[in-house]
Structure 1
Amino acid sequence: MTQKEVASTGWSRRDGYRALAGARAPWRVRLLWLALLAIPLLLSASQPLSPEDMKLVKRAEETYGPRAGKRVTSWRTLAMQNKAAGLTDRQKLEKVNQFFNQMRFIDDIKLWHKKDYWATPLEFLGAAGGDCEDFSISKYFTLLELGIPDEKMRMVYVKALDYNQFHMVVAYYETPAAVPLILDNLVGSIRPATQRADLLPIYSFNGSHLWLMKARGQGELAGQSSRLGLWTDLRNRMTSGRLARPAVNLDD
Structure 2
Amino acid sequence: MRLVTVRRYPHRCIAIASGAACRPAHHRVLPLSRLPCPLLPSPPRLSRRAWLGIGAAALGVGVLRPVRKALALDFDAARMQSSMQSRYGAKGAQALRQWLEMLQQQAGKPLPQQLPAVNQFWNRAVVQSDDSVLWGQPDYWATPLETLGRGAGDCEDYVIGKYFSLLRLGVAEENLRMIYVRARMGGAGSTQSIAHMVLGHYATPTAEPLVLDSMVDAIMPAGQRRDLTPVFSFNAQGVYVAGAQPSPVDRITRWRDLLARMQQEGFLP
Shorter-chain TM-score: what band?
Answer: 0.7 to 0.9
> Which amino acid in the other structure matches residue 263 of structure 2?
T
Question: Is the Cα–Cα contact under 8 Å of residues 13 and 176 in structure 1 kept in the other structure?
Answer: no
Q: Could you report, residue by residue, the CA deviation over 1:4-37 in whole angstroms, capped at 9, with x for unpaired residues?
A: 367456522458xxxxxxxxxxxxxxxxxxxxxx
1:57 aligned residue: 81
Question: Is the Cα–Cα contact under 8 Å of residues 96 and 145 in structure 2 kept in the other structure?
Answer: yes
Identify unmatched segments of 5+ residues in structure 1.
16-50, 214-218, 243-252
1:120 aligned residue: 143
Q: Distance in 1 between matches of 2:177 and 2:247?
A: 14
Q: 1:212-231 residue pairs with structure 2 within 5 A?
A: 212-213=241-242, 219-231=243-255
1:89 aligned residue: 111
Q: Could you report, residue by residue, the CA deviation over 1:210-247 in whole angstroms, capped at 9, with x for unpaired residues?
A: 1023xxxxx533321123222122112112339xxxxx
Q: Distance in 1 between matches of 2:214 and 2:168?
A: 20
Question: Is the Cα–Cα contact under 8 Å of residues 104 and 128 in structure 1 kept in the other structure?
Answer: yes
1:101 to 123, 128, 135: 123
Q: Could you report, residue by residue, the CA deviation over 1:89-123 in whole angstroms, capped at 9, with x for unpaired residues?
A: 12111110010000111011111111010000010
What is the TM-score normalised by the length of structure 2?
A: 0.69
Q: 1:198-213 residue pairs with structure 2 within 5 A?
A: 198-213=227-242
Q: Distance in 2 between matches of 1:13 and 1:235?
A: 27
Question: Is the Cα–Cα contact under 8 Å of residues 119 and 162 in structure 2 kept in the other structure?
Answer: yes
Q: Distance in 2 between matches of 1:187 and 1:222?
A: 29
How far residue 164 of structure 1 moved from its aligned partner, in angstroms, is 3.4
Compute the RMSD of aligned alpha carbons: 2.1
Q: Distance in 2 between matches of 1:182 and 1:188?
A: 10
Question: Is the Cα–Cα contact under 8 Å of residues 210 and 222 in structure 2 kept in the other structure?
Answer: yes
Identity of aligned residues (%): 38
Q: Does residue 129 in structure 1 map to residue 152 in structure 2?
A: yes
**Match of 1:189, SS?**
coil
2:52 aligned residue: 12
1:175 to 166, 190, 204: 204
Q: Distance in 2 between matches of 1:146 and 1:221?
A: 29
> Which amino acid in the other structure matches residue 130 of structure 2?
D
Q: Does residue 140 in structure 1 map to residue 163 in structure 2?
A: yes
> Which amino acid in the other structure matches residue 227 of structure 2?
D
What is the TM-score normalised by the length of structure 1?
A: 0.73
